[in-house]
């Protein structure tokens, strides 16, 4: 395993040859990637470099915002039947998590992932289900992946498509929390020589937790249109470009440009995404307007389910737990019906055609996805999968 000094920044400064607006192939097959290098980039995060064979190049070589689902097995829990003191569903020990690559090197057929490892702590005695599995993988060993169909796509230098909505922009405002920086790394790589103004606010708990700071600073040196602000909850020492504080309306108003031709993208844990959406809405920022207005309604409604599911099922009687789950299932059914209505009404209000996934007989009734919230919101709105909704919280 390499140290931060082993990280070759020059690799990531070379513009990817993949390009944009690709017709990515996503199927249900499982593919193998071989681990060839692992580098520690912060106290808790690692860079995993995997090699892929030529016969799956058309599967792995995807464009910006695309991701892959890693499949592994969790270790034996500290307490039988529980994981981090919560009921553990028996799925044969299999765990699936989605990660976005930060770089794809088509010359060497290598794909790079930045992943935070959640070790065992007093609060989380079992740590992360999949990340502990990934942490134990040795060089030359393989991992299983499958594709993930992204709903966001860079069409051209000034146009991003989100679901069926195309949004034009001249300025990109980016806000990332923790590992939420990963989908933006390839974006910064692509725009390093393109005349688009970019403002990035990157939030972390501490200076040490800032991932790839040296690389982001290099991007800012190369691209004078890129302005970066590092925001940390606790600043233990002085560090260039880093300010202490939490994301707020004052920070957003000062660091992110708010004009008709500015578009804001944000990515992070659910709490961060909720707060960012509220702030941007209060400041009337443009956030994929057609998409986010109705997504906001869905997220507010989904909190009704979250509040109930967040209560540990072990507390209280079995009858209380069943009653709680029953109410949650009813809420899921309600959400699956109301979201398509919100979607169509918003499309009508904006006099624009927005395709709906709520078609008769469709398996994706009322599905809504937003950055790192995808799995959480998807599980709330997806009929027939109510038993999995206890994963609504940020999944480590």
Q: Is 219 helix (H, G, I), strand (E, B) or coil?
A: helix
State mean pLDDT over 22-46.
91
More confident residue, 319 or 369: 319
State mean pLDDT over 193-209.
94
Q: CB of 32 within 8 A of CB of 140?
A: no
Q: CB of 273 within 8 A of CB of 369?
A: no
Nearest CA-CA partner of 20 in 147, 177, 155, 131:
155
Nearest CA-CA partner of 368 in 276, 267, 316, 293:
293
Q: Which of the four CATH numbers 3.40.50.150, 3.40.50.300, 3.90.1150.10, 2.40.30.10 does domain 4-148 have?
A: 2.40.30.10
pLDDT at 150 over 90: no
- Output the pTM of the full model: 0.72
Distance (Å, whole) CA 190 – CA 182? 14
pLDDT at position 233: 92
Question: Predicted confidence band at 308 (pLDDT cuts at 50, 70, 90)?
Answer: very low
pLDDT at position 12: 94
pLDDT at position 334: 62
pLDDT at position 90: 65
Q: Is 310 helix (H, G, I), strand (E, B) or coil?
A: coil
pLDDT at position 336: 58
Distance (Å, whole) CA 168 – CA 176? 21
State mean pLDDT over 135-153.
91
pLDDT at position 295: 42
Nearest CA-CA partner of 180 in 150, 155, 210:
210
pLDDT at position 304: 38
Alpha helices by DSSP H, listed for the chain, are 9-13, 57-60, 131-135, 182-190, 213-222, 249-255, 270-282, 289-309, 318-349, 374-381
Distance (Å, whole) CA 183 – CA 268? 10
User: Which fold does the domain 152-287 belong to in CATH?
Assistant: Rossmann fold (3.40.50)
Question: Predicted confidence band at 284 (pLDDT cuts at 50, 70, 90)?
Answer: confident
pLDDT at position 3: 59
State mean pLDDT over 271-295.
72
Which range among 15-19, 66-70, 313-317, 354-358 has the greatest average pLDDT?
A: 66-70
Question: Predicted confidence band at 219 (pLDDT cuts at 50, 70, 90)?
Answer: very high
pLDDT at position 198: 96
pLDDT at 185 over 50: yes
pLDDT at position 337: 58
Question: CB under 8 Å to 237, separation ≥6 — which residues?
Answer: 207
Which range among 188-202, 263-277, 328-342 has the greatest average pLDDT?
A: 188-202
Give ranges for CATH 3.40.50.80 in the chain: 152-287
Reported residue count of the chain is 396
Residue that the structure tokens 């529980």 belong to: 82
Q: Which residues sit in the known binding site? A: 97, 99, 114, 129, 182
Question: Predicted confidence band at 222 (pLDDT cuts at 50, 70, 90)?
Answer: very high
Question: Predicted confidence band at 189 (pLDDT cuts at 50, 70, 90)?
Answer: very high
More confident residue, 163 or 389: 163
State mean pLDDT over 173-189.
94
Tokens describing residue 236: 């233990």
Residue that the structure tokens 């307007």 belong to: 289
15-20-25 Cα angle (round to 5): 120
Distance (Å, whole) CA 366 – CA 380? 10
Average pLDDT, the chain: 77
Q: Which residues sit in the known binding site for FAD? A: 97, 99, 114, 129, 182
pLDDT at 215 over 70: yes
Distance (Å, whole) CA 212 – CA 218? 10
Give ranges for CATH 2.40.30.10 in the chain: 4-148
How buried is 349 (Cβ within 10 angstroms: 0-12 exposed, 13-18 middle, 19+ buried)? exposed
């Amino acid at each position: 395993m390499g140290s931060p000094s082993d990280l070759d920044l020059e690799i990531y400064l070379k513009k990817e040859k993949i390009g944009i607006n690709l017709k990515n192939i996503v199927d249900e097959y499982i593919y193998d990637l071989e681990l060839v290098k692992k580098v520690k980039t912060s106290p808790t995060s690692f860079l995993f470099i995997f090699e892929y064979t030529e016969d799956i190049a058309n599967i792995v070589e995807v464009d910006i915002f695309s991701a892959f689902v890693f499949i592994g097995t969790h270790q034996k829990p500290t307490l039988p039947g529980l994981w981090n003191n919560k009921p553990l569903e028996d799925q044969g020990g299999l765990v699936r998590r989605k990660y976005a690559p930060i770089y794809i090197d088509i010359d060497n057929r290598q794909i790079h992932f930045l992943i935070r490892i959640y070790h065992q702590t007093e609060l989380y005695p079992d740590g992360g289900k999949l990340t502990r599995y990934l942490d134990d993988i040795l060089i030359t060993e393989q991992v299983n992946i499958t594709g993930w169909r992204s709903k966001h796509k860079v069409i051209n230098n000034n146009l991003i498509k989100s679901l069926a909505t195309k949004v034009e922009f001249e300025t990109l405002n980016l806000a990332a929390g923790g590992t939420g920086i990963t989908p933006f790394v390839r974006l910064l790589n692509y725009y390093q020589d393109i005349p688009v103004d970019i403002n990035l606010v990157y939030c972390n708990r501490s200076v040490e937790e800032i991932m790839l700071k040296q690389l982001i600073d290099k991007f800012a040196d190369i691209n004078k249109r890129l302005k970066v602000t590092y925001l940390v909850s606790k600043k233990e020492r002085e560090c260039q470009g880093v300010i202490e504080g939490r994301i707020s309306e004052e920070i957003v108003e000062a660091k992110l440009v708010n004009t008709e031709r500015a578009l804001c993208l944000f990515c992070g844990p659910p709490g961060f995404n909720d707060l960012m959406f509220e702030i941007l809405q209060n400041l009337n920022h443009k956030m994929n307007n057609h998409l986010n207005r109705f997504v906001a309604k869905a997220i507010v409604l989904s909190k009704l389910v979250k509040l109930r599911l967040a209560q540990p099922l072990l507390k209280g009687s079995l009858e209380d737990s069943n009653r709680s789950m029953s109410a949650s299932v009813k809420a899921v059914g309600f959400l699956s019906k109301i979201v398509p209505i919100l979607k169509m009404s918003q499309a009508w209000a904006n006099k624009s055609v927005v395709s709906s996934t709520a078609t008769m007989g469709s398996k994706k009734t009322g599905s809504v996805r937003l950055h790192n919230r995808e799995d959480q919101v998807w599980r709330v709105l997806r009929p027939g999968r109510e038993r999995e909704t206890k994963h609504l919280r940020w999944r480590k």
